[in-house]
Structure 1
Amino acid sequence: MQYKLLIFITLIIQATILSSAASADLSGVISAPLAEMQSGLAQLEANHSDIVENTEKHIRFYAETQQTDFAIVYLHGFSATRMELHPLVDRLADALQANVFYTRLTGHGRSQDAMLDGSVAAWKQDTEEALALAQRLGRKIIVIGTSTGGTLATWLNANISDADAPFATILISPNFAVKSRSSELLQWRLGRWLVKILKGDYYSFTPHNEFHAKYWTERYPIDAIAPMLDLVDEVAEIDKQRITTPHMIVYSPQDHVIDVSKIIEFADALGSEQTVVLPFTQSKDPAQHVLVGDASSPNEVDLLLNAISEFIRAL
């Protein structure tokens, strides 16, 4: 009896440790004075010994001790980090004189097996906390989401009150459906089992350059993909008509990663009266997905920066 009780207590302790490791609560940081927020984030992120430098949750202050008129939230994509479009968001923040909060989605920016910590629930929490923190940083919130970060931004817009709605949302290569025909297999345990037999337990890709290799998780367990696909399916069922936030949607018609037709369907279904859809054909990214930035297309940053700035200033 005592042995069984000891096992039970041990399992509870392990579950508690795993839960806290997967997603840290930002409530203490959100309620802290502005000048103490960054140090609070650093303390939380220090709980993970494997975080890649420059991928941590991070506040970039324009004015360190006060709110700015605009504040930006950046939601990165699956297997990526806040450096995904760098330096685009920094440059936009400077142009708007805005504070920025870069989140780190649970499981990302760490070791390859840490990707298994990711879940739909954890990423939703990351997204809600990112908005709450940004509301301390600025009066008008701009949410920027790339790829699966765009999926999360869409979920957020559909599930918050009008009072908390962002001033604007920028979606870059939003993931409303992946292009791979085998993706549906990965949502089911039997399907993942079959894929593992054929291709092994891990998915991997070849980075384009050193920057890409450093700031993406280029190899991760097949099982880590399922929550991303579940999120995409959930967002597909959202009533887009109830989303009224002004939107700018940027995509490449030649995107190799996502189903571009779903982006057009999304834009047509939006309830927003202020929607700009920008086909971006100048990217040098081989996959036409990470459209600008040091990882893929550094010389095209100004083109997209100017387009986004013009959209924001016209609102």
Structure 2
Amino acid sequence: MKLKRRILKSPFKVSERLRFQRFSLVVIVVLALLLLGPWGLYLKSFDPEDYQGARARGQLLEKIFSFNSSAVEPGTRNRFLSEHFQLEEGTVAGLLPGAEKLVQFPPGTEALANPRALISFHGFQANRQEISPVIEDVSTQTGMPVFFSRVNHHGVQGDDLAGLSLDDYMQAVIEAEVTAKQLAPEAAVIGVSTGAPMAMLMAARSKLNGRAPVKTLILVSPNFGLPRWDWKFMIGPLGTVIARVATGGHHEWKPLNEEQAKFWVHRTSAFALRAMAEIVDLGMRAGKTRADWHDVDVLWVRNPQDDVVDARKAEAYLRGFQFRRLEIFDLAADNHILAGRIVKPENSARLTERIVQFLKESKTESN
């Protein structure tokens, strides 16, 4: 009888134990994904050419821009570059006028060979209007041509960035590399907000054969980490889920004026937050792969009270490098966007002046 009782009880106990074990396993797996998710990005390559879209984009542009520099007049090459992006961006449905990728030359310099070019990376949700006309004025005052990059989906009317991916960011970086090589033998890169880790990625790769060396970095309100504790968890396998839980499906904020409402994506899909977090983390770690930075000058423009990005994380990151020069320029503002006609016009002239002076002080290969 006792034996029968044990036999009768045994299936119940085994079933309960099995359910508990399965539940425990699920909990362990979820916790592991949450805790180890950010480290999953270490498996991803720093090389844009390892990403299908970026590789195809780079190969296409290399083929289109396959000039023999010694045989083609600078003016012909420069006009072709400018016209190529005008025509290409003209095919993007819904692209806002003023948000396009653009190669721009200071008046009277289109036919000249240039020793150095400006490359501009905009921030998350923004486009080249972000701090305009600062970069345009810097180009004019220094005589340097400028390439304004545009990450896919940005600047497109009605696009909430739901389709944004790390590959899109990689395409923008490799596109800038190919274009910089055509514009000048050396590049100075300006990265605003999330454009800063893109600038670090380009600079880290710039010593590779055939690329324009990056000797100057100008980082404006750089996004080297957000002030919220959960941003890195958006990188892992559950990144999109965490972003959706944290934002309710969309990240939304109130524009300051009609122009900002027009040119910024102020209601963003949670899917885009994962791509943003990935390029920030990847760009930062790519910077650490470059063996030396002793020939690079860096201007860091910041608002110490910035509540969109974490200025303390940015300082800790940048001070970890042995740059030739690291200069900090504090610009008083009540906003993450520190200058530009749309958000902070009163700071534009001052920021322009400081960048121009810094570029004049920064050494090039020729001096």
Alignment TM class, shorter chain as reference: 0.7 to 0.9
Aligned counterpart for 2:82 among listed residues 8, 30, 38:
38
Whether 2:135 is the aligned partner of 1:89: answer: yes
CA distance, structure 2, for counterparts of residue 168 and residue 187 of structure 1: 29
Percent pairwise identity: 24
2:225 counterpart SS class: coil
CA contact (8 A) 2:206 2:214 kept: no
1:117 counterpart SS class: coil
| Residues 50-75 of structure 1 deviation map (CA, whole Å, 9 limit, x = unaligned) | 11111111111122233333321110
CA contact (8 A) 1:252 1:279 kept: yes
- What is the CA-CA distance between 1:122 and the residue it aligns to? 2.6
Aligned counterpart for 1:165 among listed residues 213, 231, 237:
213
2:115 counterpart SS class: strand
- 5 Å-filtered alignment, 1:1-315, equals 25-31=60-66, 33-62=77-106, 63-113=109-159, 115-161=161-207, 164-188=212-236, 190=238, 192-193=240-241, 196=244, 199-238=247-286, 239=288, 242-244=292-294, 245-280=296-331, 282-283=332-333, 286-287=334-335, 289-315=336-362
Alpha-carbon spacing, 1:269–1:199, altered in 2? closer, same or farther (3 Å): closer
CA distance, structure 2, for counterparts of residue 29 and residue 229 of structure 1: 32
CA contact (8 A) 1:147 1:173 kept: yes
CA distance, structure 2, for counterparts of residue 191 and residue 41 of structure 1: 34
Question: 86-95 or 156-165, which moves further after superposition?
Answer: 156-165
CA distance, structure 2, for counterparts of residue 196 and residue 125 of structure 1: 26
CA distance, structure 2, for counterparts of residue 203 and residue 277 of structure 1: 31
The letter for the 2-side match of 1:154 is M
TM-score when normalising by structure 1: 0.84
| Residues 150-191 of structure 1 deviation map (CA, whole Å, 9 limit, x = unaligned) | 110011112231673213110111111011234245335646
Alpha-carbon spacing, 1:236–1:71, altered in 2? closer, same or farther (3 Å): closer
- What is the CA-CA distance between 1:124 and the residue it aligns to? 2.1
| Residues 223-262 of structure 1 deviation map (CA, whole Å, 9 limit, x = unaligned) | 1110111122223434276334211111110001111112
The letter for the 1-side match of 2:347 is E
Q: Segments of 4+ in structure 1 off by > 6 A?
A: none
CA distance, structure 1, for counterparts of residue 53 and residue 177 of structure 2: 22
Alpha-carbon spacing, 1:192–1:121, altered in 2? closer, same or farther (3 Å): closer
CA contact (8 A) 1:186 1:223 kept: no
1:72 counterpart SS class: strand
Count of aligned positions: 293
Give the structure 1 partner of residue 34 of structure 2. none
CA contact (8 A) 1:26 1:129 kept: yes
CA contact (8 A) 1:71 1:135 kept: no
CA distance, structure 2, for counterparts of residue 59 and residue 119 of structure 1: 24
Give the structure 1 partner of residue 39 of structure 2. none
CA distance, structure 2, for counterparts of residue 128 and residue 155 of structure 1: 10
CA contact (8 A) 2:166 2:276 kept: yes
CA contact (8 A) 1:201 1:222 kept: yes
CA distance, structure 2, for counterparts of residue 135 and residue 76 of structure 1: 20
Question: 76-85 or 109-118, which moves further after superposition?
Answer: 109-118
Alpha-carbon spacing, 1:197–1:176, altered in 2? closer, same or farther (3 Å): closer
Query: What stretches of structure 2 of length at least 5 have no aligned partner?
Result: 1-51, 68-76, 363-367
Alpha-carbon spacing, 1:122–1:197, altered in 2? closer, same or farther (3 Å): closer
Which structure has the larger Rg over C-alpha atoms?
2
- What is the CA-CA distance between 1:96 and the residue it aligns to? 0.3
CA contact (8 A) 2:218 2:299 kept: yes
CA distance, structure 1, for counterparts of residue 246 and residue 339 of structure 2: 34
User: Considering only aligned residues, what root-mean-square deviation do their CA atoms show, in Å?
Assistant: 2.6
Query: What stretches of structure 1 of length at least 5 have no aligned partner?
Result: 1-17
TM-score when normalising by structure 2: 0.72
1:143 counterpart SS class: strand
Question: 189-198 or 114-123, which moves further after superposition?
Answer: 189-198
CA distance, structure 2, for counterparts of residue 73 and residue 236 of structure 1: 18
